[in-house]
Amino acid sequence: DTAVSQTPKYLVTQMGNDKSIKCEQNLGHDTMYWYKQDSKKFLKIMFSYNNKELIINETVPNRFSPKSPDKAHLNLHINSLELGDSAVYFCASRSDGDTQYFGPGTRLTVL
Amino acid sequence: KNEVEQSPQNLTAQEGEFITINCSYSVGISALHWLQQHPGGGIVSLFMLSSGKKKHGRLIATINIQEKHSSLHITASHPRDSAVYICAVPMYSGGGADGLTFGKGTHLIIQP
Protein backbone atom coordinates (compact mmCIF):
# COMPACT_ATOMS: atom_id res chain seq x y z
CA ASP A 1 0.00 0.00 0.00
CA THR A 2 1.69 3.18 -1.18
CA ALA A 3 1.30 5.99 1.34
CA VAL A 4 2.00 8.91 -1.03
CA SER A 5 1.77 8.23 -4.73
CA GLN A 6 2.54 10.45 -7.71
CA THR A 7 1.84 10.06 -11.39
CA PRO A 8 3.52 10.09 -13.75
CA LYS A 9 6.99 9.03 -12.59
CA TYR A 10 8.59 10.48 -15.72
CA LEU A 11 7.33 13.29 -17.90
CA VAL A 12 9.11 14.45 -21.06
CA THR A 13 7.55 17.33 -22.95
CA GLN A 14 8.23 20.25 -25.24
CA MET A 15 8.65 23.86 -24.18
CA GLY A 16 5.38 25.73 -24.16
CA ASN A 17 3.20 22.72 -23.35
CA ASP A 18 0.88 22.41 -20.35
CA LYS A 19 1.19 19.38 -18.08
CA SER A 20 -0.15 18.06 -14.79
CA ILE A 21 1.30 15.90 -12.03
CA LYS A 22 -1.06 14.10 -9.69
CA CYS A 23 -0.49 13.28 -6.03
CA GLU A 24 -2.56 11.20 -3.66
CA GLN A 25 -2.00 10.21 -0.03
CA ASN A 26 -3.92 7.52 1.82
CA LEU A 27 -2.61 8.44 5.27
CA GLY A 28 -5.46 10.71 6.28
CA HIS A 29 -3.13 13.70 6.68
CA ASP A 30 -4.48 17.24 6.51
CA THR A 31 -1.33 18.90 5.16
CA MET A 32 0.31 18.31 1.81
CA TYR A 33 3.22 19.91 -0.03
CA TRP A 34 4.92 20.22 -3.36
CA TYR A 35 8.71 20.41 -3.36
CA LYS A 36 11.07 20.93 -6.29
CA GLN A 37 14.52 19.32 -6.49
CA ASP A 38 16.83 20.99 -8.98
CA SER A 39 19.69 19.51 -10.97
CA LYS A 40 22.05 20.04 -8.02
CA LYS A 41 19.71 17.97 -5.85
CA PHE A 42 18.66 21.00 -3.79
CA LEU A 43 15.12 20.70 -2.42
CA LYS A 44 12.88 23.71 -2.10
CA ILE A 45 9.28 24.08 -1.06
CA MET A 46 6.80 25.31 -3.65
CA PHE A 47 3.38 25.03 -2.03
CA SER A 48 1.79 24.00 1.22
CA TYR A 49 -1.88 23.07 1.59
CA ASN A 50 -3.83 22.39 4.76
CA ASN A 51 -7.31 20.89 4.44
CA LYS A 52 -7.53 21.97 0.78
CA GLU A 53 -6.52 25.55 1.62
CA LEU A 54 -3.34 27.15 0.29
CA ILE A 55 -0.99 28.04 3.16
CA ILE A 56 2.32 28.77 1.45
CA ASN A 57 3.22 29.82 -2.07
CA GLU A 58 6.96 30.24 -2.03
CA THR A 59 7.49 32.74 -4.86
CA VAL A 60 6.49 30.23 -7.46
CA PRO A 61 5.60 31.63 -10.93
CA ASN A 62 1.89 31.74 -11.54
CA ARG A 63 2.36 29.27 -14.40
CA PHE A 64 2.27 26.71 -11.58
CA SER A 65 -1.20 26.14 -10.17
CA PRO A 66 -1.82 23.59 -7.44
CA LYS A 67 -5.30 22.16 -7.04
CA SER A 68 -6.62 20.23 -4.07
CA PRO A 69 -10.03 18.68 -4.85
CA ASP A 70 -10.02 16.99 -1.43
CA LYS A 71 -7.53 16.63 1.38
CA ALA A 72 -6.15 13.36 -0.02
CA HIS A 73 -5.15 14.91 -3.35
CA LEU A 74 -2.86 17.74 -4.33
CA ASN A 75 -2.27 18.06 -8.06
CA LEU A 76 0.17 20.37 -9.78
CA HIS A 77 -0.64 21.94 -13.13
CA ILE A 78 2.07 23.74 -15.05
CA ASN A 79 1.32 26.05 -17.99
CA SER A 80 3.69 27.14 -20.74
CA LEU A 81 6.54 24.91 -19.63
CA GLU A 82 10.05 26.35 -19.76
CA LEU A 83 13.47 24.68 -19.87
CA GLY A 84 14.12 25.80 -16.29
CA ASP A 85 11.13 23.82 -15.07
CA SER A 86 13.08 20.59 -15.63
CA ALA A 87 13.49 19.07 -12.19
CA VAL A 88 12.19 16.34 -9.92
CA TYR A 89 8.94 17.29 -8.21
CA PHE A 90 8.09 15.65 -4.89
CA CYS A 91 4.72 15.60 -3.24
CA ALA A 92 4.64 15.05 0.54
CA SER A 93 2.14 14.89 3.35
CA ARG A 94 2.59 15.66 7.03
CA SER A 95 1.32 13.70 9.99
CA ASP A 96 0.02 15.29 13.20
CA GLY A 97 3.38 14.39 14.70
CA ASP A 98 5.13 16.49 11.99
CA THR A 99 6.80 13.56 10.20
CA GLN A 100 6.78 14.11 6.44
CA TYR A 101 6.06 11.32 3.99
CA PHE A 102 7.36 11.83 0.49
CA GLY A 103 6.05 10.53 -2.78
CA PRO A 104 8.44 8.80 -5.21
CA GLY A 105 8.96 11.95 -7.25
CA THR A 106 8.15 12.95 -10.84
CA ARG A 107 11.11 13.66 -13.11
CA LEU A 108 10.06 16.40 -15.52
CA THR A 109 12.21 17.03 -18.58
CA VAL A 110 11.38 19.99 -20.78
CA LEU A 111 12.96 19.89 -24.25
CA LYS B 1 12.80 32.47 7.59
CA ASN B 2 15.08 29.63 8.60
CA GLU B 3 18.35 28.86 6.85
CA VAL B 4 20.20 25.58 7.00
CA GLU B 5 23.90 24.88 6.63
CA GLN B 6 25.02 21.30 6.23
CA SER B 7 28.51 19.82 6.08
CA PRO B 8 30.34 18.16 4.54
CA GLN B 9 28.80 18.32 1.05
CA ASN B 10 30.64 15.18 -0.04
CA LEU B 11 32.07 12.39 2.07
CA THR B 12 33.80 9.20 0.97
CA ALA B 13 34.76 6.67 3.63
CA GLN B 14 35.76 3.06 3.99
CA GLU B 15 33.36 0.41 5.18
CA GLY B 16 33.29 0.24 8.97
CA GLU B 17 34.18 3.88 9.58
CA PHE B 18 32.23 6.13 11.94
CA ILE B 19 30.47 8.86 9.97
CA THR B 20 29.36 12.29 11.18
CA ILE B 21 27.27 14.79 9.23
CA ASN B 22 26.60 18.21 10.71
CA CYS B 23 23.70 20.62 10.38
CA SER B 24 23.14 24.11 11.77
CA TYR B 25 20.13 26.36 11.41
CA SER B 26 19.38 30.01 12.04
CA VAL B 27 15.98 30.23 13.76
CA GLY B 28 14.58 28.34 16.76
CA ILE B 29 12.54 25.33 15.70
CA SER B 30 9.96 22.82 16.91
CA ALA B 31 11.76 19.85 15.36
CA LEU B 32 14.57 18.99 12.96
CA HIS B 33 14.38 16.31 10.30
CA TRP B 34 17.03 14.03 8.87
CA LEU B 35 16.14 12.56 5.48
CA GLN B 36 17.82 9.99 3.28
CA GLN B 37 17.72 9.95 -0.50
CA HIS B 38 19.01 6.86 -2.24
CA PRO B 39 20.38 6.83 -5.79
CA GLY B 40 16.97 5.63 -6.97
CA GLY B 41 15.62 9.00 -5.90
CA GLY B 42 13.10 8.26 -3.16
CA ILE B 43 13.22 10.33 0.03
CA VAL B 44 12.74 8.69 3.42
CA SER B 45 12.42 10.36 6.79
CA LEU B 46 15.06 8.92 9.13
CA PHE B 47 14.54 11.01 12.24
CA MET B 48 12.54 13.88 13.56
CA LEU B 49 13.89 15.26 16.81
CA SER B 50 13.29 18.26 19.00
CA SER B 51 15.76 17.51 21.81
CA GLY B 52 18.49 15.14 22.90
CA LYS B 53 19.25 12.05 20.92
CA LYS B 54 17.51 9.36 18.90
CA LYS B 55 18.88 6.01 17.73
CA HIS B 56 17.68 3.66 15.04
CA GLY B 57 19.93 0.71 14.33
CA ARG B 58 23.36 2.09 13.39
CA LEU B 59 22.05 5.62 12.95
CA ILE B 60 22.14 8.17 15.75
CA ALA B 61 20.85 11.73 15.58
CA THR B 62 21.57 14.39 18.18
CA ILE B 63 20.40 17.95 18.54
CA ASN B 64 21.52 20.91 20.65
CA ILE B 65 18.67 23.40 20.66
CA GLN B 66 20.68 26.17 22.35
CA GLU B 67 23.44 25.98 19.75
CA LYS B 68 20.99 25.36 16.88
CA HIS B 69 23.03 22.37 15.76
CA SER B 70 22.38 18.73 14.96
CA SER B 71 24.54 15.80 13.96
CA LEU B 72 23.78 12.53 12.23
CA HIS B 73 26.14 9.67 13.01
CA ILE B 74 26.47 6.30 11.31
CA THR B 75 28.33 3.61 13.20
CA ALA B 76 30.01 0.67 11.43
CA SER B 77 29.19 2.19 8.04
CA HIS B 78 28.31 -0.12 5.16
CA PRO B 79 28.17 0.39 1.39
CA ARG B 80 24.35 0.27 1.57
CA ASP B 81 24.51 3.48 3.63
CA SER B 82 25.67 5.28 0.48
CA ALA B 83 23.06 7.94 -0.17
CA VAL B 84 22.40 11.66 0.13
CA TYR B 85 21.56 12.72 3.68
CA ILE B 86 19.54 15.90 4.03
CA CYS B 87 18.86 18.02 7.10
CA ALA B 88 15.60 19.98 7.13
CA VAL B 89 13.85 22.35 9.52
CA PRO B 90 10.53 24.20 9.45
CA MET B 91 10.66 27.27 7.22
CA TYR B 92 9.45 29.46 10.04
CA SER B 93 9.87 29.01 13.77
CA GLY B 94 6.19 28.23 14.20
CA GLY B 95 6.42 25.04 12.15
CA GLY B 96 3.05 23.54 11.38
CA ALA B 97 1.91 23.57 7.78
CA ASP B 98 4.64 25.96 6.67
CA GLY B 99 6.81 23.30 5.08
CA LEU B 100 10.48 22.54 5.36
CA THR B 101 13.62 24.32 4.32
CA PHE B 102 16.50 22.02 3.45
CA GLY B 103 20.26 21.82 3.67
CA LYS B 104 22.16 21.20 0.46
CA GLY B 105 22.63 17.55 1.42
CA THR B 106 25.66 15.37 2.10
CA HIS B 107 26.55 12.90 -0.62
CA LEU B 108 27.97 9.90 1.26
CA ILE B 109 29.83 7.08 -0.44
CA ILE B 110 30.97 4.08 1.59
CA GLN B 111 33.56 2.01 -0.20
CA PRO B 112 33.92 -1.72 0.54
Write out pLDDT tens, residues B36-88: 998 877 999 999 998 999 999 999 999 999 999 999 999 999 999 999 999 99
Task: Give the three-state DSSP class for A59.
Answer: coil
* Chain B residues 11-70 with a CB less than 8 Å from chain A: 30-31, 33, 35, 37, 41-45, 48
Interface test with chain A among B100, B107, B108, by most A beta carbons within 10 Å: B100
- Mutation test of the interface with chain A: which of B3, B43, B46, choosing the one with the most A Cβ atoms within 10 A? B43
Q: Do A102 and B44 touch (CB under 8 A)?
A: yes
**Most distant CA pair in chain A, distance:** 41
pLDDT at B36: 97
- A13-27, A57-71, B59-73 — which is least confidently predicted? A57-71
A69 at B interface, C-beta within 8 A: no
How many angstroms away from the CA of B83 is the closest CA of chain A? 12
Q: What are the residues whose beta carbons fall under 8 Å from the beta carbon of A62, sequence distance 6 or more?
A: none
Q: A87 with A105: CB under 8 angstroms?
A: no
Q: Is the pLDDT of residue B95 over 70?
A: no
> What pLDDT band is residue B28 in, cutting at 50, 70 and 90?
confident
User: What are the residues facing B11 on neighbouring strands?
Assistant: B108
Which DSSP symbol is given to A35? E
Nearest CB among A40, A48, A88 relative to B99 is that of A48
Give the model's pLDDT for residue A52. Answer: 81
Q: Phi, psi at residue A46, to the nearest 5°? A: -110, -55
Mean pLDDT of A5-29: 96
* Residues B41, A105: C-beta atoms closer than 8 Å: yes
Mean pLDDT of chain A: 92
Whole-number pLDDT of residue B2: 82
pLDDT value of position B96: 59
